Amino acid sequence: MDPVTLIGAMSVLAAGLCIAIGGIGPALGEGNAAANALRAIAQQPDEAPNITRTLFVAMAMIESTAIYAFVVTVLILYFNPFWDKALEIAKLAN
Amino acid sequence: MIEDLDHIIMFHLGPLGINATLFFSWVVMAILVVGSWLITRNLKTTVQVSRFQTLLEMVVTTIRGQIHAVSGDNPMKYLPMMGTFFLFIAMSNLLTIIPWFKAPTASLSTTAAFALCVFCAMPYYGIKNAGIKGYLKKFIDPTPFMLPLNILSDFSSAFSLAFRLYGNMLSGAVIITVLMMLAPFLIPLPLQILGLVTGTIQAYIFALLAIVYVSAVAPNEAYVQSDTKKGV
Amino acid sequence: MGIDWVTFGAQIVNLFVLIWLLKRFLYHPILEVIDKRQAEINAQVKSAQDAKNQVDQEKAEWEKEKAHFDDMRQKRLNDLALEEQNLHKQLNVDIHKQEQEKRSQLQQNLDTEVKAIQDEMRSIIAHQFVAFSQKLLQELTQGTPFDTVIQTITNKINKLDKKQKLELEKNLLKQNVINITSSNQLSKKQQQELLKTFKKVCPINAKTKVMWKVDSDLILGLEIYVGNSLIEWNLKNYLDELNYNIRSATTALILSEKDE
């Protein structure tokens, strides 16, 4: 397989794996957080607004990991320096 | 085939091409401003008021209450900026229900611009609240070893704000586009609803996180809410 | 995707323009309206509170006055009750007194009535006796000659003691009048005889006037008056004595009955 194809294939694979594996952790974490928040609301329904707000903030923090994975995926797919370099070399070769 | 809002030129304004992001941003701004102006032209203080005035009062008092609850500080300091963030993002995300309306927040330029504003507002409000020393102390606490990590966390907060909003809005738009190509009749509907829900939630989260980051440095004098604003 | 820096800058400008516009058109007016309404409500609540305070104050004053009036009324009532009691007592005493008086009066009346009845009874009894006796004596002495009477009176005159004689003389000196009353008409002879006897006792001169009267009430007998002194013998005298005796006897009887 010539390098261009290889780089292209590996980039695609890497992007898919990145977002796939990168999304597992945050999803589990967010589920856990939501579950505990719901339990807390069930215990103290009067504090529901407070708990909900804190839940959202915590979710945002947890989500940042997923966002990092997403960013890396997008970078691989659209701002891949290796792919650009490979294309350049292929163009020069032709 | 991600639609790139920044490169769709709607029309030309002199030498400049106005791209979709800017155009739709202006549309959202116009709706917000004209709507407010129409409603606040004649405001009444009686108990019976028009429903629009009640709507606006509700919105403003809710935002103010949230700001006070989260920051524990005088909400009037942060209300204009955070309120605008929330209103703009919420309005732009909700208006995606209209066909041919592309949310300006689905473009990284917009969200990055907002995140940069928040990133600049953090030291601004920090110094305003607690002075330079108080603001810089936040990086040292709890121990001076945490200094690089604290600085990094500042950056990453702002960064994540931008990408969170952009990612949510873009994914919603892309999913709808793909589904429209594959199964255009009724199938996109649940995902459009999901898109609306996540859009509102993301607007709320953006504003909330902005308040949390900006009011991280507590002011020197604690703010006690007066009776008139109690519970709002 | 990537950042278009022109759009980036334009969006920052957009943001600040929007903040300014919303500040002007949305936040300030709405917040002012909310504050104004709150101030109005506060003013209303305050005025209501003031009115309530005033009403409470007035109510407290009124309550005080009412308590004061109640006190006064209670005092008056107590006084009146006391007065009433006193009056009641007074009335009781008065009535009692009156009753006693009336009772004693009635008793007195009763007594006087009883006495009157007794007196009447006595007098009736005596009268009956005397009347009967008078009638009897009158009928019996119808034909009685008068000489015995003169004889008796002469005896009596002769039996006068010194004191009486002196008295007679004194009276005669005072008034030279002798009143002689007889039951029957005396004959001249009888008159002369009487005077003769009289002369023996007291000095009758020629100037002495002698009044001769006839009174059938005397039944049988004579009465000689010289001034105050009286010499008499007649059945009327005896009847009067009888009357007196009967009365005194019945009185003593009744009294003794009473004592029992």
Predicted pLDDT of residue B73: 84
**A78 chain-C contacts, CB cut-off 8 A:** 1-2
pLDDT band for C230, please (50, 70, 90 cuts): confident
Rounded CA separation B187/C99 (Å): 124
Tell me the CATH architecture of domain A3-93.
Up-down Bundle (1.20)
**How far is the CA of C228 from the CAs of C157, C179, C231, in angstroms?**
16, 11, 10
- Domain edges within chain A: 3-93
> B140-169 burial string, b = 16+ CB within 10 Å, else e?
eeeeeeeeeeeeeebeebbbbbbbbbbbbb
- Which of B70, B160, B201 has the CB atom closest to A53's CB atom? B70
CB B196 within 8 A of CB B89: no
Which 76-105 residues of chain B touch chain C by CB within 8 A?
79-81, 83-84, 87-88, 104
**Measured between CA atoms, how close is A23 to chain C, in angstroms?**
21
The answer to whether B163 contacts A50, with C-beta atoms less than 8 Å apart, is no
**Which residue in B223, B200, B198 sits closest to B78, CA to CA?**
B223
* Higher-scoring residue by pLDDT: C182, B96: B96
Q: What DSSP string runs through B150-176?
A: HHHHHHHHHHHHHHHHHHHHHHHHHHH
- Which residues, 6 or more positions from A90, have their beta carbon under 8 angstroms from its beta carbon? A2, A3, A4
The overall pTM is greater than 0.90: no
The answer to whether A74 contacts C2, with C-beta atoms less than 8 Å apart, is no
The answer to whether A64 contacts B160, with C-beta atoms less than 8 Å apart, is yes
A50 touches chain B (CB under 8 A): yes
Token match 């990145």: residue?
A18
Residues present in chain C in total:
260
Phi, psi (degrees; rounded to nearest 5) at B50: -70, 160
Q: What DSSP string runs through B41-84?
A: SS---SS---HHHHHHHHHHHHHHHHHHHHH-S-HHHHHHHHHH
Rounded CA separation B56/C30 (Å): 7
* Higher-scoring residue by pLDDT: C159, B86: B86
| Minimum Cα–Cα distance from B108: chain A residue | A71
pLDDT band for C256, please (50, 70, 90 cuts): low
**Measured between CA atoms, how close is B168 to chain A, in angstroms?**
10
A52 touches chain B (CB under 8 A): no
Q: pLDDT tens digits for C98-119?
A: 999 999 999 999 998 988 888 8
Q: Which of B67, B68, B164 to mutate to test the interface with A (most CBs of A within 10 A)?
A: B164
Which 158-217 residues of chain B touch chain A by CB within 8 A?
160, 163-164, 167, 201, 204-205, 208-209, 212
- Domain edges within chain B: 5-221
A89 touches chain C (CB under 8 A): no
**B170 chain-C contacts, CB cut-off 8 A:** 1
- Which of B21, B26, B40 has the CB atom closest to C7's CB atom? B21
| Minimum Cα–Cα distance from A68: chain B residue | B160
Token pair listed for C241: 């004595």
**Measured between CA atoms, how close is C45 to chain A, in angstroms?**
29
**ipTM value for the complex:** 0.89
A28 touches chain B (CB under 8 A): no
Predicted pLDDT of residue A29: 94
Predicted pLDDT of residue A18: 94
Lowest mean pLDDT across A21-25, B116-120, B172-176, C172-176: C172-176
pLDDT band for B170, please (50, 70, 90 cuts): confident
Let me know how many helices (H) and strands (E) chain B has, helices first: 6, 2
- Which of the other chains make 3 or more beta carbon contacts under 8 angstroms with chain B? A, C
Question: C221's torsion region: left (phi>0), alpha (psi -120 to 50) or beta?
Answer: left
CB C1 within 8 A of CB B108: yes
| Minimum Cα–Cα distance from A77: chain C residue | C1
Q: pLDDT tens digits for B86-133?
A: 999 999 999 999 988 889 999 999 999 999 999 999 999 999 888 888
**C1 chain-A contacts, CB cut-off 8 A:** 74, 78
Q: pLDDT tens digits for A13-40?
A: 999 999 999 999 999 999 999 999 999 9
Rounded CA separation B92/B80 (Å): 18
What would the mean pLDDT of B52-65 be, rounded to a whole number? 92
A81 touches chain B (CB under 8 A): no
What would the mean pLDDT of B153-168 be, rounded to a whole number? 90
